[in-house]
Amino acid sequence: MNLTYTITLADWKAAIRLHTRQKPGRRICLAISYYAIPTLAGLGLGYISLASSHGRRDIVDGLVLPVAALFGIAVLRPFLYGYRLRKWFTGYFPVSETGPGHSLDIDNERILKIWPGIGEAKYYWTGIRRFAQDNRITVLYITELSFICIPTRVLSPSQRTELNDLIARNMARKQK
């Protein structure tokens, strides 16, 4: 099966979201950074205003700095994450002189990934650790943290079936 496609920033974000959902530790870290820290910052602000209204200046003085730090983290985290995600994207998918894009040649023995004007990489199925898939992206893991992402939008229904069959056959063979 031959695929030619361009990874967009939206595809990369979908791959990172799918990657994050694969392990409980990653989900917990995400929950802490997006839910627990903003909640603690809000509760801290509420407690400071309550203590201030009751004249407890000692409590207010002790909590202002930690609550301000939590509030700063809660506000800056999404912006910094978005910036870092764009930097990762441009680092992993540089634009070549022949134009952006990837070409994959997948068969029963190997996966050949070609970046026109940049280089190519060959991965045998024995080197593919695992895979994950949702409606937007398919991810084939080479290591625990590096992967090949294939946007589902570039796959026709027959290609998607063929890819799933190749993955199932070769992952089952690998587990024997």
Q: Which has the minimum average pLDDT: 1-10, 76-85, 98-107, 140-149?
A: 98-107
Q: What is the mean pLDDT of residues 36-62?
A: 87
Report the CATH number of the 2-7+95-175 domain.
Answer: 2.30.29.30
CA angle 67, 73, 75 (to 5 degrees): 100
Q: What is the pLDDT of residue 100?
A: 60
Q: How far apart are CA 150 and CA 3, in angstroms?
A: 9
85, 13 Cβ separation under 8 angstroms? yes
Q: Tell me: the pLDDT tens digits for 104-154? A: 899 888 999 988 777 889 999 888 888 899 999 999 999 988 898 899 989
pTM (2 decimals)?
Answer: 0.77
Nearest CA to 19 among 145, 155, 151?
A: 145
Give the distance, in angstroms, between the CA of residue 175 and the centroid of all CA atoms in the same chain.
Answer: 26
> What pLDDT, on a 0 to 100 scale, did the predictor assign at position 83?
92
Q: Band the pLDDT of 89: cuts 50, 70, 90.
A: confident
∠ CA(6), CA(27), CA(82), 5° rounding?
45
What value, to the nearest 5°, has the Cα angle with vertex 77 and ends 73 and 78?
Answer: 145
CA angle, residues 140, 146, 152, in degrees to nearest 5: 35
Q: Where are the domains of the chain?
A: 2-7+95-175, 12-92
Q: How confident is the model at residue 48 (pLDDT cuts 50, 70, 90)?
A: confident
**Exposure of 142 by Cβ count < 10 A (0-12 exposed, 13-18 middle, 19+ buried)?**
middle
